[in-house]
Amino acid sequence: MGPMPPGPMFLRFDVVEVQCSRGPKYDQRVNKQVFRRHNDLPWFLKKNHDNRLEDIDLSMNISEMYDVTHTDIPRLREGKVGAQFWAAYTSCDSQYKDAVTHVLDQIDVIKRMCKAYPEDFEFVTSADGIVSAFEAGRIAGLIGVEGGHNIDSFPSVLRMLVELGMRYMTMTHSCNTPWADNWKVDLDENPDENQFGGLSEWGRKLVKEMNRIGVFIDLSHVSMEMMIDSLQATQAPVIYSHSSAFSICNSYRNVNDEVLELVRENGGVIMVNFYTKYINCPPANISDNLDEAELFQVADHIEYLAENCGHDNVGIGGDYDGVGTVPNGLEDVSKYPHLIAELIKRGWNEVNIKKLLGDNLLRAMREMEAVRDSMAGELPLEENMPRVSGGEATNGCRTYAYGTS
């Protein structure tokens, strides 16, 4: 396979020589970069340092300093990463309490991190910004908010998070919001958790508002019915920031075949998660140990989604620093070239490699931005969620002004 032409890709290879453990050496002269969709380094900073950047030097390899760590600048550079969605995650425990405070704290540390390393990071909010940062030799940093509970069910909070730079929102985490069902409702042992049959009527209005203001609807962590409802409600492409193929690994955190055609029609992108529990489970598991997996299994998930959803609809998600176990061969962010080598060995051509590495998400982002621009004349969502929905119905921690005596 010869040199790849230049273009707005997200894997930054100059000369990459990768010894694939199951095949020959590949010398690829390409000028591309990986656009990674989901990285929990901000949560790592919160857990280990309470977001005090002065306590950690990300310009050095920190892998020997912590029990589990996947990300720092040297390893990002070694992995040829050129753009990254940093996850602003807060626990479901914060729902109905102080989720907004916590997500602002995480957005703040992402922005401070980008400013602290200006030679390596550049905070961006658009597809054009990603390309501009890449051309300047910096890693483009974007914000994804992980969990719809972080807007506290207020469209005003959603809009303010977008003003601060959020460009995708994972609609739920591993808990229902008062307007959407999470993935655990699909487990047989949790039938009572299915509160909305997917997405509530107010939730559908929120999807439209997300289209209007230009933020991706991220369907990782949601129930299958929630996926279907959202795909029917949205005018813009959706993403799955870190999910894999259900037919290979029957975890409900993965994407079921019933949804794949809808994703293809929508123009969405499914980015494969590296968490071992979502890679190495029945029916295609290679062992009974869910804490173990191999690089080739990740490639299997990518190929399955490419074949059954489309080469235009698959990408790389990761979930580094958000999980405790990752596959052998993909131990941290420096290992992306090994995954690409595996796909090249399987016969992937230049066009499809480029799509996987970032062209798909860049295309989807431009389409999402075009939908936003087309809705510029529409009024914002001013209807707050009915406070009788979900856990909000029994929430005694609210203060209200409108409609009270």
**Could you give the residue numbers annotated as active site?**
38, 40, 146, 173, 221, 242, 319
Q: How far is CA 195 from the centre of its chain?
A: 25
Beta bridge pairs of residue 11: 81
Cα 310–Cα 3–Cα 353 angle in degrees, nearest 5: 15
Phi, psi of 251 (to 5 degrees): -100, 140
Contact assessment for residue 335 and residue 329, using Cβ atoms and an 8 Å cutoff? yes
Omega of the bond prior to 155 within 30 degrees of 0, cis?
Answer: no
The phi and psi torsions of 201 (rounded to 5 degrees) equal: -60, -40
DSSP 315: E
Residue type, 347: G
Q: Are 392 and 153 in contact (CB under 8 A)?
A: yes
8 Å CB contact between 196 and 170: no
Q: Where are the beta strands (DSSP E) in 147-237?
A: 166-170, 216-218
Q: What angle do CA 40, 385, 256 make, to 5 degrees?
A: 50
Tell me how crowded residue 289 is: count the other CB atoms within 10 A of its CB. Answer: 11
Q: How many residues does the chain have?
A: 405
From CA 236, how far away is CA 369, in angstroms rounded?
8
Task: State the CB neighbour count (10 A cutoff) for residue 102.
Answer: 18
Instruction: Tell me the residue type at 380.
Output: P
Joined tokens for residue 136: 């300047």
- Judge whether 308 and 51 are in contact, CB under 8 Å: no
Distance CA 117, CA 137 (A): 13
Type and span of the H or E element at 26: strand 25-28
Structure tokens at 393: 């119905």
CB 103 within 8 A of CB 161: yes
